[in-house]
Structure 1
Amino acid sequence: MPRFRTLDDLDPRGKWVLLRADLNVPVRDGRITDRTRIERLSPTIRELADKGARVIVCSHFDRPKGKRVPEMSLQPMVEALSEVLGRPVAWADDCIGPAAEAAAAKLQDGEVLLLENTRYHPGEEKNDPALAQGLAKLADAFVNDAFSAAHRAHASTEGVARLLPSYAGRLMQAELEALDAALGNPSRPVVAIVGGAKVSTKLDLLGNLTKKVNVLVIGGAMANTFLAAQGHPMGKSLQEAEMHDTARQILADASANGCEIVLPVDLVVAAEFAPNPATKTVTVDRVPDGMMALDVGPDTVSLVEAKLRQASTLVWNGPFGAFETPPFDSATVAVAQAVAALTASAGLKSIAGGGDTVSALKHAGVVNRMTYVSAAGGAFLEWLEGKTLPGVAALEVA
């Protein structure tokens, strides 16, 4: 893994430290409905403040497209951030310019300031040097703790990192170390589980994993495409007929790379996609014409569990079935419980990420029983795809 400066390399006492956070949290009717990102960010802020830094927090929120949209202000985060940190948080009505500079100048050692939404400026998403310079003017050092935004070359993630001494925050550090353990320098054998609806959206991911892992388990509706490509009848199941040749090529590439592909051997099918319909479990060559596959069956779960018992490392992205709609959550929950048990009893390094994956693991009640669950969505996927993340590359020490 490339070397990154961390908080261990920074003496922040008396310094203004610009901290890039991800406060793009879910809000409904003006209220924050999930504080997970704030809570994960708090150790870095607390450590910097306790060491005497003057902490200036910046973040984007939603997509105001370079304009001031009142309902996309970060001001409601002040109270939540203060409650999580257990200390007052000051507010600036802009992220650069006189308002931000005046608020920053008032900070004393150990105090925290939150800046207004960086995306109120059109230069943020364009990585405008002027906006990056405006942010850099506020601080002596830059700490990026927003891995979830690191796949974007924006002024507050990549541009400013080129202008100040830059460091990875504790959350960024944890993400990078977890991903290195997953694919950079993993303990082998490595098993990857990839689910989701469409092969077409995960071509880069599948292509990269077949070169990196020992066993690749494919679930979700994308497994239907692979099964159909092998000639299995899939009834009314969601699948991409135009991707059959691609699926066959992925299977061939995996074989050439020594990567074992595991596809479902049985499926849970129903005539309609609705909560708790009549279902039946069939082998993959027995899907009735008028029915659709909505989850994998118990024999597939047993097969996956057997592979996991032989693994040292697991990378997981995507559920096995339509887990939001019972009973099509059964396989995902069963495998998640098995992963949690193996993490505790056998030392399995279990690393998971992606929006649907996190929701599925929360549904299964195992988020806190995995080795690491990434809160990042697109950045986690792009890393697994083998892509360079601009916000991470900007932190590398030459």
Structure 2
Amino acid sequence: MSLLKHKRSVDDLWPVRRKRVLVRIDFNLEINNGVIDKSKDQRIRAAIPTIRRITDQGGICILLSHMGRPTGHKFGVLKNDDAKRRRYLNIWKDEKGAGYTVYFSLLSGEIKKKILGWSSVATSAADLSEVQGTGKTDLFASLSNAEKKSLLKRFQNGDHSTTLFPHLRQYDGYHDELTLMPVATRLYELLNADPSRPPVDVHFAEDCMNANDMVASLLPGQVLLLENLRFYSDENSLIESERMIMAQHLAKYGDYFVSDAFGTSHRRNSATTVELPAIIGHGCCGYLLKKEIESYVDLLGDSPRPMLAIVGGAKVADKISLLEHILRKIDTLIIGGAMAYTFLKVAGYEIGNSFNESGQSFIDKYGGRRNIDELAQNFLIKAKACNVQVLLPVDHVCHTTCEATDSPLITETAHIPSGFMGLDIGPRTIELYRKCISQSKSVVWNGPMGVFEIPTYATGSFSIAKEMGDGTQEGLLSIIGGGASADAARMCGHASRVCHVSSGGAASLDLLEGKVLPGIDALDDLE
């Protein structure tokens, strides 16, 4: 198809031995007090095949990732102003306590116990195990910044001569809770989980823009994870020259470029997904990105009919472009989640206190103002003209507030009484939607049916995931488009039963809307 072509993959890189391969990865995951929940490390696990492909051939794998949305600092300023750079390196000496807890969290259990033994909470710490995840970091976090500073100084002045906070750690763009160091630890564990395979060394560079010496010292088969790219604002700067400065610097680290970060491929302003492959002179996709491309080529190309799209989430304004675009490709559209209440209200139903956008307007991508009610009404007319059946909820699970309850109101019709809000689709709607899935040959799902994070309102989303999983075993082409719907499928254990769960919510939406993704377009086409 014209908008999404097959791309060269990591399999096309040769020779790789002794070559340094820059791999743009997506390790943007949840970390609490320096600890990664092992049930939520899918993004690290998903990167393993591409990393192993490189290291098994004797290549040197250099990983680049972002995490969160830190303020960041301009690399050009730090690079060209030695006095300012030195001043940032000394910020840790003030009373703000930047970096104290994250530094402590990355120490071994034995050392943590030793440090806490010097503290005002020594009695509480005495009963804690040296095993990771037993509460030592939480206890340290409860201390005052002054005591944290004193304890770490005592630790540093003992047998540890390394600088406590090197390089970027104390530039004003650094956020201790967004360091990727815990990811390096978990990556090492996963890469070395199989004792029958040769061990893999994983190193960590505490400043992604000051890693020249570490890169030069790497040996074939080793891995280096660079610190959070977004600690430098140049990574997503709106100014091309700033992005180019960062990309040109990072390009010196590698010989080849591989992208395995579908979740950031929709971002046009990204030094490491757009400018970096252009500077290196080529780019190919890793196994995760390859699977994303192939899955969407299958879905958006000549997919089996009838084809069903299930769209949920909160706002019509966020997904109207998607809805309008996919009308040409589908036979049936299921609408759930909060956006369903806007369509129901426009259709004349009572929706109580449910979230809705009726009466509102928004500015579209062309700069024009669009009225939500008119938009929803016109969409239903377009769908009918395209012979697309649109299914809306026929009953609801409700409550007076968005909180858990043992006795939610289940409506008998699509109307929601005054004082209540819809928080999930009801049992008759679930059966209607399940039947529609069972009669389809292709299904794409983007957006949950309700507030699935609260068990009371999770049945709708979980039922959709199960029905898609069941259908896949019978030959259904099934794709879950990342984001919250992917989280729901994982929570109920059915994510592994569908054909593909996308790793990028916003990127998935853009593809379904027919957009060209800059991070994919920048890679080499497969000839």
* TM bucket, shorter chain: over 0.9
Aligned partner of 1:118 in structure 2 is: 229
Preserved contact between residue 235 and residue 289 of structure 1 (Cα < 8 Å): yes
* CA deviation vs aligned residue, 1:239-277 (integer Å, no higher than 9, x gap): 222222211111112222232211112223334432125
Q: 1:83 aligns with which of 172, 182, 189?
A: 189
* CA deviation vs aligned residue, 1:61-102 (integer Å, no higher than 9, x gap): 222322341513323322111111112112223323xx4222
Preserved contact between residue 209 and residue 216 of structure 1 (Cα < 8 Å): no
TM-score, normalised with respect to structure 2? 0.71
Q: CA deviation at 1:396?
A: 4.0
Preserved contact between residue 88 and residue 112 of structure 1 (Cα < 8 Å): yes
Task: Determine which structure has more spread, i.e. the larger CA radius of gyration.
Answer: 2
Q: Distance in 2 between matches of 1:297 and 1:124?
A: 45
Q: CA deviation at 1:210?
A: 1.8
Aligned partner of 1:155 in structure 2 is: 271
Structure 1 unaligned spans of 5+: none
Cα–Cα, structure 1 residues 206 and 105, in superposed 2: closer, same or farther, change >3 Å?
same
Aligned partner of 1:254 in structure 2 is: 383
Q: Indicate yes or no: 2:261 matched with 1:140.
A: no
Cα–Cα, structure 1 residues 35 and 231, in superposed 2: closer, same or farther, change >3 Å?
same
Q: Distance in 2 between matches of 1:75 and 1:299?
A: 48
Q: Indicate yes or no: 2:338 matched with 1:221.
A: yes
Q: Structure 1 residues 289-298 or 269-278, which shifts more?
A: 269-278
Q: Distance in 2 between matches of 1:236 and 1:118?
A: 42
Cα–Cα, structure 1 residues 306 and 116, in superposed 2: closer, same or farther, change >3 Å?
same
Q: Distance in 1 between matches of 2:451 and 2:334?
A: 17
Q: Indicate yes or no: 2:63 matched with 1:57.
A: yes
* CA deviation vs aligned residue, 1:276-326 (integer Å, no higher than 9, x gap): 253343344543233322222222222212211221111111111222223
AA of the residue aligned to 1:157: T
Aligned partner of 1:37 in structure 2 is: 43
Preserved contact between residue 6 and residue 293 of structure 2 (Cα < 8 Å): no
Preserved contact between residue 326 and residue 512 of structure 2 (Cα < 8 Å): yes
Cα–Cα, structure 1 residues 298 and 156, in superposed 2: closer, same or farther, change >3 Å?
same
Q: 1:289 aligns with which of 418, 421, 439?
A: 418
SS in 2 for 1:380: helix
Aligned partner of 1:375 in structure 2 is: 503
AA of the residue aligned to 1:156: T
Q: Indicate yes or no: 2:6 matched with 1:3.
A: yes
Preserved contact between residue 434 and residue 463 of structure 2 (Cα < 8 Å): no
SS in 2 for 1:124: helix
AA of the residue aligned to 1:158: V
AA of the residue aligned to 1:160: L
Q: Distance in 1 between matches of 2:419 and 2:31?
A: 41
TM-score, normalised with respect to structure 1? 0.93
SS in 2 for 1:357: helix
Q: Distance in 2 between matches of 1:292 and 1:70?
A: 38
Cα-Cα RMSD: 1.9
Cα–Cα, structure 1 residues 280 and 63, in superposed 2: closer, same or farther, change >3 Å?
closer
Q: CA deviation at 1:48?
A: 0.7
What is the total number of aligned residue pairs between the two structures?
395
Preserved contact between residue 205 and residue 381 of structure 1 (Cα < 8 Å): yes
User: Within 5 A, what are the aligned runs for 1:1-398?
Assistant: 1-11=4-14, 12-33=16-37, 34-67=40-73, 68=171, 69-71=174-176, 72-86=178-192, 87-96=200-209, 99-126=210-237, 127=240, 128-153=243-268, 154-164=270-280, 165-242=282-359, 243-344=372-473, 346-397=474-525
Cα–Cα, structure 1 residues 65 and 299, in superposed 2: closer, same or farther, change >3 Å?
same
% identical equivalent positions = 38
Cα–Cα, structure 1 residues 287 and 95, in superposed 2: closer, same or farther, change >3 Å?
closer
Q: Distance in 1 between matches of 2:61 and 2:485?
A: 33
SS in 2 for 1:212: coil
Q: Distance in 2 between matches of 1:331 and 1:3?
A: 35
SS in 2 for 1:187: coil
Q: Distance in 2 between matches of 1:223 and 1:281?
A: 16
SS in 2 for 1:83: helix
Q: Distance in 1 between matches of 2:415 and 2:186?
A: 53
Cα–Cα, structure 1 residues 249 and 283, in superposed 2: closer, same or farther, change >3 Å?
farther
Q: CA deviation at 1:8?
A: 2.1
Q: Distance in 1 between matches of 2:279 and 2:34?
A: 35
AA of the residue aligned to 2:384: S
Q: Distance in 2 between matches of 1:396 and 1:253?
A: 38
AA of the residue aligned to 1:3: H
Structure 2 unaligned spans of 5+: 74-170, 193-199, 360-371
Q: Distance in 1 between matches of 2:493 and 2:61?
A: 35
Preserved contact between residue 44 and residue 169 of structure 1 (Cα < 8 Å): yes
Preserved contact between residue 465 and residue 495 of structure 2 (Cα < 8 Å): no
Q: Distance in 2 between matches of 1:17 and 1:177?
A: 23
Q: Distance in 2 between matches of 1:196 and 1:336?
A: 15
Q: CA deviation at 1:191?
A: 0.7
Q: Distance in 1 between matches of 2:313 and 2:234?
A: 34
